Chains A and B, each alone.
Chain A
Amino acid sequence: MSGSFFRYSFFAFFCSHLAAQDIDLGEMRKLYPEENALILKHAKVYTINLEDKKLQVNAEGEEEGLALNDVGVSYINSRNLYSSFFIKNTILEAKTLSRNESGKYKTYKATDISEKSATEGHVFFDDSKTTTISYPSVTAGSITTLKSNEEYTDAKIFGVFYFSGYIPTLQSEVTVKMNKNVQLRYYLKNCDGLQLEFTKTTKGKYNYYTWKAKDLAKYHTSDMAPNLRYFIPHIIFFIPSYVDHGDTTKVLSSPKELYSWYSQTIKGVNSTSSEALKKISDSLTVGCKSEFQKVQKIFYWVQDNIKYIAFEDGLGGLVPREANAIYEKRYGDCKDMASIITQMLSTIHVKSYLTWIGTRDIPYRYSEIPTPIVDNHMIAAYKDSTGKVWLLDATGKNATMQLYTSMIQGKQALIGIDSSSFELFDVPVVSKEKNMVYDSLSAEIKNGELSGNGELALSGYPKIHIDYLYSNLTAEEFKKELTETLNKGNNTFWLDSYDIEQAGQREKATQIKYKYKINNFVKSYNDETYFNFHLDKKELKYLVNDSRGNVPIEMRNTIHEITCVELKLPEGFDISFIPDNTSYSNKDFGFSIEYFKSAQTLTMKKYFYCNKLMINPDDFGEWTRMLKFLNKSYNESIILKHK
């Protein structure tokens, strides 16, 4: 404990004396022997002004980084600033406090500044820019600093502050300086383990709200990790309302105001339908017996024919484009697909709704945080005659009406009913039974080689995944991919041939019949042959490694997998040993392994399930117990003995 107290008091001292000369580099290196660099200060001051009934928001940021050694130089010798249509970021001051061999500091202004287009993986064109600052003369012991200013085009976009970074942060601090007539609300996420010091003061016409934290551990991420927002401490701000000359104006006090803003942005979109759009909508739905069928037809047509290409261009990042143009172009982003679905349905007099939603990358709900930070996606929604809500996300291909995209499971959707009313809808997680993977194979032993026929049936998200590969890969590439998916025994696994049925037929399970062989798998000695039924052990990839720390494991979907292996008993052999049946189960995950013997065959049936999308650190204990138990069963072989 004394150690940690020392650390705390040291920082308190240190942070109030941020002149470079005062840094005891030796002491810092002792305190952080494993680290190469530190963030000395990470601070932001948001200023919210109210003038002429208009909110103005800007934020001044301050960053100071220290290289503890030569390696640490690369952590702090460049920084990026991000600007978009909504937030303009400018540099106020960037400099290096360069430490020379004798421990003296000299200041150099950073002049090497370049601007580049920013990009995100799935976006084709993005008008955002990244400004890169390269610092001169950065040596071990040097400090680089940046002061910058963010201008917000709209107060509704502000603000998120992350307390920690990818290297340890000594001091993290955020202040909101607000005109007294403006209200503030905030939401702390993943801050439970953090000692946050909160103060509120008033000076002149402003209220000052400040959160400070010290000595923040760095975050790290891992395989199968969810988005950082799920586990790193941060704070989200928003403005519910302000008072001007006695009149209260609501800004974002509830989803109602958020929707009223959204509703404004889409006003005027799709006011007319082109002849071509009407014609295609009519021709697609001709002969449909029910409204539901019509919706299905149009939804599937959009899935199949509108390719995903996203343009983040000014307001184009927010507002859906005209359905008529999307029809001609045959491409669009998520909003555009929602736009063309709703408009095509409208031309045949079926009501459907533009719907805002966040993907699973964003762990917030509109009911808690009624701001645009909650969403990054748009879909369409349809209510059938019973009032049941159907989510139509055409960015997912080969999907049925029942199966919305995996990335919106468990999320809250905001369905825009008309210009003034909306509904919040909780998207259920698709239950495991719908995500069936059933792999059933026969196996025969000949001279140490194992061969046989298999039949793999897939539904739900696993089906969509394989169907996607099937339609998007060449025959050669698909065979390679399928070989990896089916891989069993060892890496000699050879897919002789396969036959795929019902791929692309949305309503039916995809079935893959295959012939395989595996060399060098069955081991014999003298009159005994050993055979391990567990030809694949893929669940072991979910084992929690020591380096994982507290990073949750995110699943693509819930799991319901059955594997059946039927071994044909070789002539002249008896079974002299069969392992025990085993199982482990709780409400969230588990498995069972059973052996069944008949006169000519021995069959092993394995069932593995997981009902959750996220295995949280709280679950790790039981999760590991289950996997270890499973692994124990995996290590048991049967023995066949010569008669």
Chain B
Amino acid sequence: MNRNNYFAYVLFALLLVFNVKAQDPFYRTYDWDASPKITAPEALDQSEGQIVLKDFRVSEYAYEKSGDLITYVTKHRKVKVFSDKGIENNNKVYIPSSGVIEFMQIKARSISPSGKISNIEKSAIKEVDDVESKGSYKMFAIEGIEKNSEIEYLYTYKKSGGYFGTEYAQSALPKLNFSYKIICPSNLAFDAKLYNSNSEMKKDTLSGNRNSVTISLPKIDPLKEEKYSFYNANLIRIEYKLAYNSVKGKARLLTWDNAADRYYHIICDFDKKDISETNSFLKKLKLSGSDDLAKIRQLENHLKMKFETRTGSSEENENIEKILSTKIANHTGITRLYMCCFAQMGIKAEVVLSCDRTDRAFDPDFDSWDYLAHYLIYLPGSNTFMSPTNIYSRIGFVPPEYTGQKSLFVKEVDLGAGEVKSAIAKLKTISYPEYTASQSNMEANVKFKDDWSETIIALTQTYTGYGAYYTQPIIMFLSDLQKKEFQEKTLKTIGDDASMDKVTMAGIAEEEILTKPFVMGCTLKSPSLLEKAGNKYLFKVGLLIGPQAEMYQEGARKTPAEITFTHSYNRKLVITVPDGFKVLSIEKLKINQNVMVDDKVAAEFVSDYKLTGNTLEINVIENYRALYYPIAKFEDYRKVINAAADFNKIQLVFEKN
């Protein structure tokens, strides 16, 4: 059985209800204003060139004659545009249609400032399939728009399921009259939770014996992007889930435990053929590692280098036998293969389900399965995590967006011989490596050409952990020319005019990925790190550490600072002072700035120097030890960031003795 069908089947059985009387769906009773009035622009926020006047959404659940539960999704949106930008942003409408069974209605119009209405004809609505793998869309252009026009559209489509969901209420635009409503038959009850807002959801019983949950926000301020902050995770949003079905009793539905059990069966049910094929695959692989961890690394390298992992559901790509033959798996399939391998190797492993906290943080207190978006595997033997699906990640360094938050661990429950195996949920934190595990280090030995025309730098850059995560695994996939471009971009941070020579790269072999440091070295010659001023020379020593952004904060900070992974930079700059010269203004090299959270150093920038004979050694340490910096500490955090930017601008003066 296709795993997804299995999934659907279980849900179907769970929701099946008999003798339900058909209701007239809500969307048939709802319409836009037949003679719309234009809203006067004067009182409106025009700063963005557009304002959302209405954002009305309804998800209505209903039973089909067959007993299937379906959802009618209705959206009604009205935007007023004030500028060219407003027009350009709103004259094209895209309605995602992936998973849609049927569109019940689509209508759209513009209302000009003089009240002229231009309706979109049905024939003007186009459809595209899966453009750039972003799914299918209905799309149309709105006609007759001028400045101060209003653009309005209303549509309803039918889709199956929808037992969990997320609705983002806030965006970068000002918005009025937001409302989201869930309507469902009386035997069902949905739970919903509002994030990043103090407002409350309202539960109600509607006519026709239907239940509803509603959130209405008359005004939502726009949220602007802030540096060191995860935009989506900070937006006002609603998570909802189907929580009860009175036909099935009073127990809560679709709990974390149910999820654990379900995913356990999806991933860890292996038949004889799966096991025998996996064994023969492992036999051929001849894993020779000295311990389990070494074997796991070997297996992971093999599967990530020789198998292709895709998104999407497909029975073929979840069948272990097929996967081993075609070398193509989907996310579920590859996780199954890993777990089957571990089972055969006698290595304890648990499936973990998590989500990207830069989009929305996992909430252990609200059991929406939408949080269960990505597979990880926990290996209790080494107390490490691995990502079966991300080919650039390696054990110990899973995609950092999943770390540092509670997630769902699928804990197997062994009921003894002969019993059907099952699993329960454990909500535990996915730990993340210490900042010392993710380093970006630099050693630069600096000399000056005798005629002071060039600075010559012997440079070594060393990266470990998440410092190497985004580059080290990719190097081998680059062509020779791309490698050259990469080297130029990574090593020539002191300016476009530098020339680069004797480039070396180490730690780029398959088995070295995220186990050995990624090391790049070169000799750089730069004409512009030195400036001449009469008979003195100014050396821009600060530029050696690469560009460091100055961070300004205009207005009050709205969101806390958050980073994807903890990390550190250790730089050692050794400068040979030419014979007959002395170096001036070195005391500026001393900087010490930190931010304390809970009485502990959460981030710091420290630079210092030592002058011995004609050798000036500068040590620059910068590290970010915490993932999260509360708003109250934001100013201190900013000072650490700006300390690096200040160092960046330090110049040394060389003068003849």
- For B49, list chain A residues within 8 Å (CB): 474
Cα of A632 to Cα of B645 in the assembled complex, Å: 25
Contact B85 A631 (CB under 8 A): no
Q: Hey, what's the 0/1 contact readout for A611-637 against B, CB within 8 Å counting as 1?
A: 000000000000000011001101111
Is A101 part of the binding interface, using a Cβ–Cβ cutoff of 8 Å?
A: yes
In chain A, positions 47-83 with a C-beta closer than 8 Å to chain B are 70-71, 73-74, 77
Cα of A579 to Cα of B48 in the assembled complex, Å: 48
Contact A472 B533 (CB under 8 A): no
Contact B91 A218 (CB under 8 A): no
Which of B57-65, B142-150, B570-578 participates in binding chain A?
B142-150
Q: How far is the CB of A555 from chain B (nearest CB, A)?
A: 17
Contact B527 A635 (CB under 8 A): yes
Cα of A527 to Cα of B283 in the assembled complex, Å: 77
From B130, B488, B532, A636 is in contact (CB under 8 Å) with B532
Which of A133-141, A175-183, A284-292, A426-434 participates in binding chain B?
A133-141
Is A587 part of the binding interface, using a Cβ–Cβ cutoff of 8 Å?
A: no
Cα of A523 to Cα of B650 in the assembled complex, Å: 9
Cα of A309 to Cα of B139 in the assembled complex, Å: 12
Q: Hey, what's the 0/1 contact readout for A117-160 against B, CB within 8 Å counting as 1?
A: 11100001110010000101111100000000000000000000
Is A161 part of the binding interface, using a Cβ–Cβ cutoff of 8 Å?
A: no
Instruction: For B528, give the chain A residue with the smallest CB separation.
Output: A635
The count of residues in chain A whose C-beta lies closer than 8 Å to any C-beta of chain B is: 81
- For B224, list chain A residues within 8 Å (CB): 476
Q: Hey, what's the 0/1 contact readout for B303-321 against A, CB within 8 Å counting as 1?
A: 0011010000000000000
Contact A70 B584 (CB under 8 A): no
Which of A193-201, A489-497, A593-601 participates in binding chain B?
A489-497
- For A547, list chain B residues within 8 Å (CB): 481, 484-485, 488
Is A404 part of the binding interface, using a Cβ–Cβ cutoff of 8 Å?
A: no
From B48, B85, B326, A471 is in contact (CB under 8 Å) with B85
In chain B, positions 457-491 with a C-beta closer than 8 Å to chain A are 476-477, 479-482, 484-485, 488
Instruction: For A77, give the chain B residue with the smallest CB separation.
Output: B308
From A138, A311, A474, A492, B550 is in contact (CB under 8 Å) with A492
- For B527, list chain A residues within 8 Å (CB): 628, 631-632, 635
Q: How far is the CB of B517 from chain A (nearest CB, A)?
A: 21
Cα of A456 to Cα of B534 in the assembled complex, Å: 31
Cα of A631 to Cα of B646 in the assembled complex, Å: 24
Contact A124 B139 (CB under 8 A): yes
Q: Hey, what's the 0/1 contact readout for B33-54 against A, CB within 8 Å counting as 1?
A: 0000000000000011100000
Contact A577 B653 (CB under 8 A): no
Is B530 part of the binding interface, using a Cβ–Cβ cutoff of 8 Å?
A: yes
Contact B88 A307 (CB under 8 A): yes
Cα of A471 to Cα of B83 in the assembled complex, Å: 8
Is B553 part of the binding interface, using a Cβ–Cβ cutoff of 8 Å?
A: no
From A473, A540, A577, B497 is in contact (CB under 8 Å) with A540
Q: How far is the CB of A629 from chain B (nearest CB, A)?
A: 11
Instruction: For B316, give the chain A residue with the smallest CB separation.
Output: A112
Cα of A635 to Cα of B538 in the assembled complex, Å: 9
B143, B477, B496, B552: most-surrounded residue (chain A CB, <10 A): B496
Is A331 part of the binding interface, using a Cβ–Cβ cutoff of 8 Å?
A: yes
Cα of A292 to Cα of B654 in the assembled complex, Å: 65
Contact B308 A73 (CB under 8 A): yes
From A136, A525, A636, B327 is in contact (CB under 8 Å) with A136
- For A545, list chain B residues within 8 Å (CB): 485, 488, 496
From B84, B126, B499, A125 is in contact (CB under 8 Å) with B126
Contact B497 A543 (CB under 8 A): yes
Instruction: For A529, give the chain B residue with the smallest CB separation.
Output: B533
Q: How far is the CB of A67 from chain B (nearest CB, A)?
A: 11
Instruction: For B498, give the chain A residue with the smallest CB separation.
Output: A543
Is B536 part of the binding interface, using a Cβ–Cβ cutoff of 8 Å?
A: yes
Contact A328 B496 (CB under 8 A): no
From A114, A471, A494, B552 is in contact (CB under 8 Å) with A494
Known contacts being A328-B118, A545-B488, A546-B484, is A472 close to B88, with CB within 8 Å? yes
Q: Hey, what's the 0/1 contact readout for A4-35 against B, CB within 8 Å counting as 1?
A: 00000000000000000000000000000011
- For A220, list chain B residues within 8 Å (CB): 479, 481-482
Is A225 part of the binding interface, using a Cβ–Cβ cutoff of 8 Å?
A: no
Cα of A567 to Cα of B656 in the assembled complex, Å: 28
- For B495, list chain A residues within 8 Å (CB): 540
Instruction: For B149, give the chain A residue with the smallest CB separation.
Output: A330
From B128, B146, B482, B549, A117 is in contact (CB under 8 Å) with B128
Question: Size band of the B side of the interface?
Answer: 35 or more
Instruction: For B585, give the chain A residue with the smallest CB separation.
Output: A525
Cα of A296 to Cα of B111 in the assembled complex, Å: 29
Known contacts being A637-B538, A639-B534, is A116 close to B129, with CB within 8 Å? yes
- For B496, list chain A residues within 8 Å (CB): 540-541, 543, 545
Is A521 part of the binding interface, using a Cβ–Cβ cutoff of 8 Å?
A: yes
Known contacts being A70-B306, A331-B141, A475-B47, is A530 close to B484, with CB within 8 Å? no
Known contacts being A331-B141, A523-B651, is A631 close to B552, with CB within 8 Å? no
Cα of A547 to Cα of B645 in the assembled complex, Å: 29
Instruction: For B144, give the chain A residue with the smallest CB separation.
Output: A330
In chain A, positions 463-501 with a C-beta closer than 8 Å to chain B are 471-476, 490-492, 494
- For A474, list chain B residues within 8 Å (CB): 47-49, 85
Instruction: For B510, give the chain A residue with the smallest CB separation.
Output: A70
Q: How far is the CB of B505 from chain A (nearest CB, A)?
A: 13
- For A491, list chain B residues within 8 Å (CB): 547-550, 645, 648
Is B356 part of the binding interface, using a Cβ–Cβ cutoff of 8 Å?
A: no
- For A136, list chain B residues within 8 Å (CB): 325-328
Known contacts being A119-B128, A474-B85, A520-B646, is A35 close to B479, with CB within 8 Å? yes
Known contacts being A137-B327, A330-B143, A541-B496, is A473 close to B85, with CB within 8 Å? yes
Cα of A73 to Cα of B328 in the assembled complex, Å: 12
Is A528 part of the binding interface, using a Cβ–Cβ cutoff of 8 Å?
A: yes
Contact A638 B533 (CB under 8 A): yes
From A101, A134, A521, A634, B528 is in contact (CB under 8 Å) with A634
From B91, B327, B547, A309 is in contact (CB under 8 Å) with B91
Q: How far is the CB of A563 from chain B (nearest CB, A)?
A: 18
Cα of A119 to Cα of B287 in the assembled complex, Å: 46
- For B85, list chain A residues within 8 Å (CB): 471-474
Instruction: For B140, give the chain A residue with the smallest CB separation.
Output: A125
Contact A546 B500 (CB under 8 A): yes
Is A243 part of the binding interface, using a Cβ–Cβ cutoff of 8 Å?
A: no
Q: How far is the CB of B544 from chain A (nearest CB, A)?
A: 15
Cα of A543 to Cα of B550 in the assembled complex, Å: 26
- For A134, list chain B residues within 8 Å (CB): 328
Contact B538 A530 (CB under 8 A): yes
Is B590 part of the binding interface, using a Cβ–Cβ cutoff of 8 Å?
A: no
24 CB-based A-B contacts, threshold 8 Å: A71-B305, A74-B477, A119-B132, A125-B126, A129-B129, A136-B326, A220-B479, A307-B88, A307-B91, A313-B126, A328-B144, A329-B143, A331-B141, A331-B145, A492-B649, A523-B538, A545-B485, A545-B488, A547-B488, A549-B481, A635-B531, A636-B531, A637-B538, A638-B533
Known: A139-B306, A530-B651, A637-B532. 19 other contacts (CB 8 A): A71-B476, A74-B308, A117-B129, A118-B131, A134-B328, A138-B327, A218-B479, A307-B88, A307-B91, A328-B144, A329-B141, A331-B91, A471-B84, A490-B648, A491-B645, A492-B550, A530-B531, A637-B531, A639-B536
Shortest 7 CB-CB distances between A and B: which pairs?
A: A577-B534, A117-B128, A637-B533, A136-B326, A329-B143, A547-B484, A34-B480
Query: Chain A residues in contact with chain B, CB under 8 A?
Result: 34-36, 70-71, 73-74, 77, 101, 108, 112, 114-119, 124-126, 129, 134, 136-140, 167, 218, 220, 222, 305, 307, 309, 311, 313, 328-331, 397, 471-476, 490-492, 494, 519-521, 523, 525-526, 528, 530, 532, 537, 540-541, 543, 545-547, 549, 576-577, 579, 627-628, 631-632, 634-639
Query: Chain B residues in contact with chain A, CB under 8 A?
Result: 47-49, 83-85, 87-88, 91-92, 118, 126, 128-133, 139, 141, 143-146, 224, 284, 305-306, 308, 325-328, 476-477, 479-482, 484-485, 488, 495-497, 499-500, 510, 527-528, 530-534, 536, 538, 547-550, 552, 584-585, 645-646, 648-649, 651, 653
